[in-house]
Every structure is written in structure tokens, then in C-alpha cells.
Amino acid sequence: MKAVIQRVTKSWVTVDGRIVGSIGKGINCLLGVEVNDTEAHAQWLADKIANLRIFEDEKGKMNLSLLDVQGEILVISQFTLLADCIKGRRPSFTRAAPPEEAERLYNFFVDYLRQKYNIKTETGVFGAMMQVYIENDGPVTFIIDTKEKFK
């Protein structure tokens, strides 16, 4: 799995002009599910994101996690994170999991965050054409790839 996470003051996602998910202070998470990803990958990534110290403390140091600041998370499925753009001019998406498996693990990731951490977790609509609005705070952006953990 690959995630691009951004610390935000607010973020929302629309489908056909209608807001389907919206958060205040927290994290916007663009999530791609790769072939051979498992529930273990999803759990590790969710744990990492919930506990990653990317929010500032009273001294201005990134020392607080999403849990510490009682933040919210907006999770958007994005298979294009797994594109291979090395050869040619058209990205290849062969690394992306098939839609049925990707949706299953995406939902597992979201449910895990909600159940284990009781974090307000909003989503887009899996597979839909979405417009994502991000008010990046910092800007602070990180890329986390489970391949680095599960070699």
C-alpha cells in the first residue's frame, strides 16, 4: 500500500458536485492498494498514520500525532499512486490491485482506523471521479509505502 498524507486544517471531497466526505484539522490520506497487499499491510499503515508525530506541540515541534490532537482523517482511494511512469508516455497501472481486492482492503483500512482508534474517518466514493479539496497545513506532506516495511 502507498499513502500520501497531508496535514490539513480542513479537507473535503465531492462527487457530482455533492460533498461526500469532509474533515476539519487532521490528515488527508490518498491511498493506493497494490497487488499482493494484505490486511497486515493495511493495519501497519493505519497504525503508522494514526501515531505519526506530524502535528506541532506548543513549542512548534512536530511532536504530536493525529490521536494527540484528536484530529480527523479523510481517506481517498487513488490507484494512480501505483503508476509506473518509467517507460513510455502512458503510465502503467499493473502494480495496482484489481478493483474488488483494492476496495476490500481500502474498506478494511478505513474500518480499522474507526474501530481501533475511534478516529472520525471520512471517505470519498471508491472508484468514482472525485474532486478533492485540501487546505494543506504547513505544507506538511509525507509518502508512506508499505514495501519499505514488508520486504
Length of the chain (residues): 151
C-beta of residue 138 within 8 angstroms of C-beta of residue 8: no
Which of 6, 14, 55, 79 is labelled catalytic? Answer: 79
Is 142 marked active-site?
no
> What's the distance, CA 108 to chain centroid?
13
Catalytic residue (one of 78, 121, 123, 146): 78
- The active-site residue, picked from 80, 115, 131, 141, is 80
Strands 26-32, 18-23: pairing is unpaired
Four-residue CA torsion sign, 133, 66, 41, 120:
negative
Q: Is 115 noted as a catalytic residue in this protein?
A: no
Q: How far is CA 133 from CA 6, 8, 21, 96, 138, in A?
A: 12, 10, 10, 24, 16
Active site residue 6: no
Active site residues: 78-80
